[in-house]
């Protein structure tokens, strides 16, 4: 299957990054290479861009797409290893970075990957990195009911997590749950009819299991701080999120780093805390109506950009 992905808020991301010719940039989520290519065009043959992705298909196809750019390096890695990857390339400071979180359209649309509730007969997989052990099959068939309920409720914000977890456990006693279609059927049976108006009945459960399989939320706060640490003064970080859980983490870290001393103002400061960044936009940027009509996935996207002080 051809790798195809629509790069969300491409112009807004580039504007946010304010790419400097000759600068060093990091794209943690290479995907189809759309954001990376736009950065490389702005670099105009100078500077350097290094990009990571967990998915071999993304690395292969973006490397081919960007083969003419000599100042580009793709690394198969979790972006959470930003420190190691940049140290390994001898990079001590960067001018900017972008994270476009979550899955690509290619991963969602490729039936073999088992990410989509729209596909009936895909094997439950959902691994971005297909060399990792844990898959959606393992989560659905081996996690106990309590853990399943916790994941579906916390990572999917699904009101009927308890019913879904209970029904998964009942169903798998007959035989293992193997396909996306079987999981969709369980979600459908677990949600009362009158609550099915708010989107596809399996959407939240699939999101939850995907987040668990790929550890999407763990250490996100740490890597944001690691990236800020290596930003030069005036350097920028742009983060695109697609659901409230990841946006909350990004918002909290940016708030923490952009707020200074929080001592009682009537007394001299004892905490010594200083602002490290400033938020370029007070509110997150969202996609234009024009973009959301072309690509419905951009409807829930939020872009936050910060600048290192």
Helix/strand/coil percent split, the chain, to 5 = 45, 15, 40
98 neighbors 40 (Cβ within 8 angstroms) = no
- Size of interface with ligand SAM, in residues (CB under 6 A): 22
Q: How far is the CB of 79 from ligand SAM (least distance, A)?
A: 4
Give the CB-side neighbour count of residue 50, counting CA atoms within 13 A: 21
Phi-psi map region of 44: left, alpha, beta (phi>0 left; psi -120 to 50 alpha): left
Site string for ligand SAM, 32-51 (x = CB under 6 A): xxxx----------------
Q: How far is the CB of 146 from ligand SAM (least distance, A)?
A: 27
- Exposure class string for 199-231: b at 16+ Cβ within 10 A, else e: eebbbbbbbbbbbbbbebbeebeebbebbbebb
- φ/ψ of 19, rounded to 5, equals -55, 130
Name the segment binding ligand SAM (CB under 6 A); options: 54-62, 110-118, 254-262, 285-293: 54-62
Q: How far is the CB of 40 from ligand SAM (least distance, A)?
A: 12
Q: Which residue in the set 95, 100, 246, 307 belongs to the binding site for ligand SAM (CB under 6 A)? A: 100
Q: Which residue in the set 24, 61, 86, 104 belongs to the binding site for ligand SAM (CB under 6 A)? A: 104
Angle between helices 34-43 and 10-17 (to 10 degrees): 40
Q: Does 110 bind ligand SAM (CB under 6 A)?
A: no
With a CB cutoff of 8 Å and minimum separation 6, the contacts of 303 are 9, 12, 13, 16, 238, 239, 240, 284, 285, 286
Q: What angle do CA 34, 40, 42 make, to 5 degrees?
A: 110
Q: How far is the CB of 299 from ligand SAM (least distance, A)?
A: 14
Residues numbered 120-159 forming contacts with ligand SAM, rule: CB under 6 A: 128
Residue 46 or 132 having the CB closest to ligand SAM: 132
Q: Which residue in the set 79, 82, 137, 206 belongs to the binding site for ligand SAM (CB under 6 A)? A: 79
Q: How far is the CB of 123 from ligand SAM (least distance, A)?
A: 18
The radius of gyration computed from the CA coordinates of the chain, to the nearest angstrom, equals 21
| Token output for 99 | 């994270």
Q: Does 5 bind ligand SAM (CB under 6 A)?
A: yes
Name the segment binding ligand SAM (CB under 6 A); options: 73-81, 132-140, 187-195, 201-209: 73-81
Residues numbered 7-36 forming contacts with ligand SAM, rule: CB under 6 A: 7, 28-29, 31-35
Residue 100 or 307 having the CB closest to ligand SAM: 100
Residues numbered 219-258 forming contacts with ligand SAM, rule: CB under 6 A: none
Residue 5 or 149 having the CB closest to ligand SAM: 5
Q: Tell me the DSSP string of 76-137.
A: ES-GGGHHHHHHHTT---EEEEEEE-S--HHHHH-GGG---TT-SS-BS---SSTTSS--HH
Q: Which residue in the set 53, 95, 291, 307 belongs to the binding site for ligand SAM (CB under 6 A)? A: 53
Q: What does the binding site for ligand SAM look like in residue numbers (CB under 6 A)? A: 5, 7, 28-29, 31-35, 52-55, 58, 78-80, 100, 102-104, 128
């Amino acid at each position: 299957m051809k790798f195809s992905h629509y790069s969300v808020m491409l112009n807004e991301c580039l504007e946010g990054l304010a790419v400097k010719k000759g600068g060093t940039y990091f794209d943690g989520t290479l995907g189809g290479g759309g954001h990376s290519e736009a950065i490389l065009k702005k670099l105009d043959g100078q500077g350097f861009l290094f990009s990571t992705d967990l998915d071999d298909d993304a690395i292969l196809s973006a490397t081919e797409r960007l083969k003419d750019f000599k100042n580009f390096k793709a690394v198969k890695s979790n972006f959470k290893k930003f420190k190691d990857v940049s140290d390994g390339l001898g990079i001590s400071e960067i001018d900017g970075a972008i994270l476009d979180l979550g899955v690509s359209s290619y991963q969602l649309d490729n039936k073999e990957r088992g990410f989509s509730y729209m596909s009936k007969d895909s094997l439950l997989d959902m691994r971005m990195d297909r060399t990792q052990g844990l898959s959606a099959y393992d989560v659905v068939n081996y996690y106990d009911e309590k853990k399943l309920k916790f994941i579906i409720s916390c990572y999917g914000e699904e009101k009927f997590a308890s019913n879904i977890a209970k029904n998964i456990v009942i169903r798998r006693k007959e035989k293992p749950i193997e396909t996306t279609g079987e999981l969709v059927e369980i979600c459908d049976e677990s949600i009362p009819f009158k609550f099915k108006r708010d989107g596809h009945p399996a959407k939240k459960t699939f999101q939850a299991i995907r987040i668990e399989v790929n550890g999407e939320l763990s250490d996100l706060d740490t890597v944001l701080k690691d990236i800020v640490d290596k930003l030069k003064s005036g350097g920028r970080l742009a983060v695109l999120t697609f659901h409230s859980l990841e946006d909350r983490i990004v918002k909290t870290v940016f708030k923490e780093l952009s707020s200074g001393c929080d001592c009682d103002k009537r007394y001299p400061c004892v905490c010594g805390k200083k602002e490290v960044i400033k938020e370029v936009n007070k509110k997150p940027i969202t996609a234009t109506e024009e973009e959301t009509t072309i690509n419905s996935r951009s409807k829930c996207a939020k872009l936050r950009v910060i600048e290192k002080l």
